[in-house]
Amino acid sequence: MKLVTATPSPFGRKVKVVLYETGLIDEVEIELITTTPFDTDTDLASANPMGKIPALIREQGPALYDSRVITRYLDAHAGTELYPEARIWDTLTLEATADGILEAALSMVYEHRLRPPEKVFDGWVEAQWAKAERAVTAVNARWMSHLSGPLDMGQIAIACALGYLDFRHADRNWRKGNDALDDWFAVFAQRDSMKATAPE
């Protein structure tokens, strides 16, 4: 199998963390690419017609995307139960929350990176941050017991989302008022899978 991704991609990082946690890291070739919505990498476009990373190219069957499909496939392939049936709805909701944080945070980056400076809409940027901030606050208020339980995909997704906020939006300080989540992340970030996949 081959994973098409980019080093800074938080969605790609989520998949790579799963590869480490499931013990599949040596079974998947990682192809690092450079791509943008305006100039989509050819290999990526052939794997995912939407031109988004990551994509998992399999030897048999079509390529898989997006990250939630890939991580669930890898978990099933490895039999590691990162999507435990006993708490599947909580796990999926927490993963969706993390992906929402990432989508908002990425939108903020794209607004500045892909638009001419005179067309940047600051109101849009602030609205995206408001979404991310609400989600982080909700996780801190409602989900700490889940995050403190056995490892699952919800925890991995939230950790990757918080790591991306640190990477791209450190000046926003998501930690303010979210002490429990800050403490949890400080411990989770020390996992070998997180350290091996930290963005550069």
pLDDT in the model for residue 139: 98
pTM: 0.94
With a cut of 50, list the residues of the chain below it in pLDDT: none
The whole-number pLDDT of residue 103 equals 97
DSSP string, the chain: -EEEE-TT-HHHHHHHHHHHHHT-GGGSEEEE---BTTB--HHHHHH-TT--S-EEE-SSS--B-SHHHHHHHHHHHHT--SS-GGGHHHHHHHHHHHHHHHHHHHHHHHHHHHS-GGG--HHHHHHHHHHHHHHHHHHHHH-HHHHTSS--HHHHHHHHHHHHHHHHHGGG-TTTT-HHHHHHHHHHTTSHHHHHT---
> What domains appear along the chain, each with residue ranges and CATH number?
2-78 (3.40.30.10), 85-191 (1.20.1050.10)
Identify the pLDDT of residue 37: 76
